[in-house]
Amino acid sequence: MSSYFNPVNRMTGLASGLDTKSMVEDLMKAARMPLDRMLQNQQLLKWQQEDYRAINTTLTNLRTNYGLPMELQATFTVKKATSSDETAVTAAVGANAPTGTYQVAVSQLAQVGSLVSTQSLGAGFDPDAKMSDTTKSFGLTAPTSFTISTYKADGTVDQNITINVSPDQTLNQLLADIGTKTGGRLTAFYEASTQKVVISTTKTGYYYENKFTFTGSFLSDKLKITTPADLTGQDAVLTLNGLSITQHENTFTLNGVTFTLKKTIPSTSPVLITVQTDTDAIVQKIKDFIQQYNDALNQINSKLKEERYRDYLPLTEDQKKDMSEEEIKNWEQKARSGLLQNDPLLQNMVYDLRTAITGVVDGLNASMNALADIGITEGYMLDDQGKIILGAYTDGGKLYLNENILREAVNRDPEGVMNLFTRTGATDKEKGIGVRFYEALGRAVNRLTDEAGAPSSFSLVDNSFLSTSIREMQDRIDRENERLARLESRYWEQFTLMEQYIAQMNSQSTWLAQQFNMYGGR
């Protein structure tokens, strides 16, 4: 709205007896009709923009979350590992793990190393009492210390760590110091039910970097740990397909497969780990894609076929004053219906998407160069033998899936299914279905953004066609509001001037009447 305003001292019929306020309002209603048409046209543009942006949001989500995976080989090379005894060993596979079977027998699990007090520290011992306490702790009278030695990979000493012990410390504080000063490589705690101290490595495995040597009389005299003592973990020892293997940890990766050992397994009854194509995951990805594609297509087609009620225009503010909320809602539903009916932009976009997804991929084996070869068809459904059992060519390009055919294709030729979707090429016809469709979605999103702007954008400038049109319409509305403000001011000036003249004439008439009465009475 413009800030234009021309102040007028309004006179509302006091002299003439006319309802000048209503007369001005009626005159302005007629004058505002062009403005109402502008506001209605602008509202139609805004609704149309909202509809375009809603479709843009749907296609952007389809492209990012469902279209992109269809052009990536990783979607079709996913593997899964199954174990014949998951209580003994489990396995997980990486993207590059080859298919195959592994026989696993485990003679020894990897373990941490532990030192444990050989006897109880005494009933009533309190690990949170100062070590100088003679009834609840050691009754330590003077500071002392002990040493922990760590080692390098070649077996030589890396460093000697001195652990100082103060009478003012508690046992729990001292045990915490062991973990801190060894950089978390050791953990120590007091176990209340046995009244014993446990010092353990935090890693499993038998190797020099996981070895620790303890010396010092405090350990033997107070903690009841025999010294000097060597502490290290234990390796896992297993055979895998007849190969003897030693591992520092129970979880390790070989040939792209991550094994987790849970218990010993006799060589006479090995556990079988089978790595194979994860058909369920691949089929589910394709099913999700088809569902989202059909939903998006249905959204667009519903807008293309939506009925247009041309007699229902956007309501003006004056019209809304005389209507209930329900009446306004029902009216506006019809007013904004069909704004994209038979829209050329959407029609061309749908044609582009359908062409990308249904065309044959040149350069592939004829037995698997189209979606129909893996049980996915447009407008009709196949039975397990590949015969048409359901046809619906009026459904606007909906895809149908025979899951049995798809599963059989993935199991029989997973690489062929992958190439059908992900093949690259110099021309569109040589590109895989997923590649073509992802690119077609990109073009669709760009066209919608050019037409109506991005559905959500942090940009301060939106130069799309509809946004520009809405801004231009707003400029016209602002100019029209200024014109109407001037017009209304002129009407009030004219009526006020009329009232002033009539008031002046009434005053003169009253004076003359008084004069006639005065002189006539003589």
Average pLDDT value for residue range 64-68: 95
Tokens describing residue 204: 């499993």
Verify that 286 and 397 share a domain, yes or no: yes
Please give the share of the chain, as a percent, with pLDDT higher than 70.
91
Verify that 285 and 368 share a domain, yes or no: yes
pLDDT of residue 1: 41
Verify that 388 and 502 share a domain, yes or no: no
Q: Which of the four pLDDT bands, split at 50, 70 and 90, describes residue 5?
A: very low
Residue 520 lies in a domain: no
- As beta bridge partners, residue 380 has 391
Verify that 25 and 66 share a domain, yes or no: no
Domain that holds residue 99: 79-109+236-277
Verify that 300 and 153 share a domain, yes or no: no
Residue 58 lies in a domain: yes
* 205 or 483, greater pLDDT: 205
Per-residue CA distances from 485 to 301, 430, 481, 491, 521 (Å)? 45, 64, 6, 10, 53
Asked if residues 116 and 197 have their Cβ atoms less than 8 Å apart, the reply is yes
Number of domain units in the chain: 4
Residue 345 lies in a domain: yes
Task: Compute the CA torsion angle 39, 43, 44, 45 (nearest 10 deg).
Answer: 100
Per-residue CA distances from 74 to 27, 69, 135, 281, 301 (Å)? 71, 8, 67, 11, 32
Residue 519 lies in a domain: no
Average pLDDT value for residue range 243-261: 97
174: left (phi over 0), alpha (psi -120 to 50) or beta: alpha
pLDDT of residue 252: 97
Closest by CA to 208, choosing from 244, 252, 248, is: 248
pLDDT of residue 16: 53
- As beta bridge partners, residue 111 has 234
Q: Which of the four pLDDT bands, split at 50, 70 and 90, describes residue 459?
A: low
* pLDDT(362) > 50: yes
Q: Which of 25-29, 30-34, 438-442, 471-475 has the highest mean predicted lDDT (pLDDT)? A: 438-442
In this structure, of 289-293, 386-390, 429-433, the range with the lowest mean pLDDT score is 386-390
pLDDT of residue 35: 82
Verify that 396 and 417 share a domain, yes or no: yes
* 248 or 379, greater pLDDT: 248
Average pLDDT value for residue range 292-299: 96
Verify that 170 and 270 share a domain, yes or no: no
Residue in the structure block whose two tokens are 């044609």: 351
Verify that 150 and 291 share a domain, yes or no: no
* H or E stretch at 382: strand 380-382
* pLDDT(29) > 80: no
Verify that 62 and 182 share a domain, yes or no: no
* 279 or 495, greater pLDDT: 279
In this structure, of 39-43, 302-306, 471-475, 479-483, the range with the lowest mean pLDDT score is 479-483
pLDDT of residue 17: 53
pLDDT of residue 294: 95
* pLDDT(23) > 90: no
Q: DSSP character for 134?
A: T
Residue 302 lies in a domain: yes
Residue 370 lies in a domain: yes
Q: What does pLDDT average to over the chain?
A: 90
pLDDT of residue 3: 43
Q: pTM of the prediction? A: 0.75
Closest by CA to 218, choosing from 194, 193, 199, is: 199
In this structure, of 41-50, 95-104, 239-248, 390-399, the range with the lowest mean pLDDT score is 390-399
CA 57 vs. chain centroid, Å, equals 13
Please give the share of the chain, as a percent, with pLDDT higher than 90.
73
